[in-house]
Structure 1
Amino acid sequence: MALSAAEGAGTNQSGFNTPGQGRGLLEVFRWRYLLRLLVRKETSTRYRNSVLGWVWSYVRPAAQFIIFYLVMGVFLQMARGIENFAMYLFSGIIVINFFSEGFSNATRSLVDNAHLVRKIYMPRELFPVAAVIVSFVHFLPQAAVLLVVALIFGWLPLPMYLGAAILGILIVGLAATGLGLFFGSLNVAFRDAQNFVELILMVAVWASPVLYSWQMVASQVPEWLMLIYQINPLTAGVELFHLAFWDPVTAGAHSLPDNFWTTVWIATAITVAGVLIGQWVFRKIEPRFAQDL
């Protein structure tokens, strides 16, 4: 028998969810099988119909390394001021490349998957998170090259070095995720967000000690500006990679600032806050995704 209007109005609807609403990043763990499919799709199609295939994962960092080494190391003679400059440079480049690729791809991820966003419901956070994970997959071959070179020069896989590397990559990966959520959601409504991201990425290489040492910055800027520089998550991530791979090979030649670990934990807190802010903005704009796409 059909329910009357009164009976229907009194029906308990607590078990129903608002369509298109989830629990944010927490949903990514519940939908991890779909996350794996997205990652697999992106990694398998990235170099489809490409002659070199996965070799392209090495070409870009190799080209960057050669150019920066010649310009900064040879022409500007930075190699004389930084011992084992080649390893110092490469360990910083692969961290910045991971951040740049993850952040850029996460920003475009919703627009690139507009057909899925419009047609079916799934946690939309899956797309930027998958983009960052794919960037991490592309980062691994470069990290393997760094690891082999470090081992040749006498690096030992001690827990403290491994811990520094893991912490560094976590900070950079979370920073890319938080910014990707923020700008990825804005990019749905305002496509010029991608252009703003390109400006950020252009500055990122120079805003962290990849091509130079932190001592050069400390000698030129006041203490308060140096503190801001140090709590930059990219600076923390790059310096942790230097601490993990380059510093042991140079026999401790890399003197750290007195407040190094304090600024690293501050940078970590800033990164976590960035993820929370990015998620909040993402959730605010999410109801308009299908309409704007």
Structure 2
Amino acid sequence: MTPLLSRIGTAALLLAVFVPAALWAPAWLWGGLMAGVVGMAAYEWARLSHFHTLSAGGYAVLLTLCTLALPYGLAGNWPIFQAVLIALAIVFWLLVVPLWLLGRWQAPHAFVRAVIGGVVLLPTWAALLYLHARGPAVLLGVIAVVWIADTAAYFSGRLFGRHKLAPAISPGKTWEGVAGAFVAVALYAVALSLWGDMPLRPLLFMVSGLLYLSVLGDLFESWIKRVSGMKDSGASLPGHGGVLDRIDALTSTLPIATGMLLWLEHSA
């Protein structure tokens, strides 16, 4: 099987599992599934950080247990903790990560890497729970921006890519890929405006912001892999690498999209 067919086949299988879960899974099952995703991504993050196998497994178990226990253990305080995680992610992605990439920080210390892994993964998990609770249309509508952007960037970059976006961080990414992604998400915004009777200008602003964040998340993981000397975060998803490779753009977009929705809810 060619790499492209392998990539398409894996994506189709993931969609066949994820979309029905998003549409019909009860909250407890959705929470369990997302805890599993966090656990696998945490293990891959630990391996990228060169933790020993036993330490990587312990780190993954710790984050998985946190995701399973926190919503129930915090009870009525869970929404406050969820908002704190989202606020932490907003600061991290809008302020820390751009400086990180510009300065090409390596953060080799295991403790720092462990903390950063929590900052990357736990707000993403909190956002997935929040968006799922708001309904499948909200969850899938936000994630679709990332999926569309990723697919368009992949194919437009392969067909037209000439000018490197950030060669010192990720040599495979091009400005042509970003341009293709922008056209695709802009068309998605137009479709939402026409079919969902929503104003176009705010939608274009939103999807453009999420596109920027998705590129940022992708570049951040690419830099971590480059520093670690690894091509992929894992090998569990043929054609895509590991779980972290598949969700890298979601780690930056979902928490901030959730933050926007929280702000709209509390300002209404």
Q: TM-score, structure 1 length as denominator?
A: 0.34
Q: TM-score, structure 2 length as denominator?
A: 0.37
Choose 1 or 2 for highest CA Rg.
1
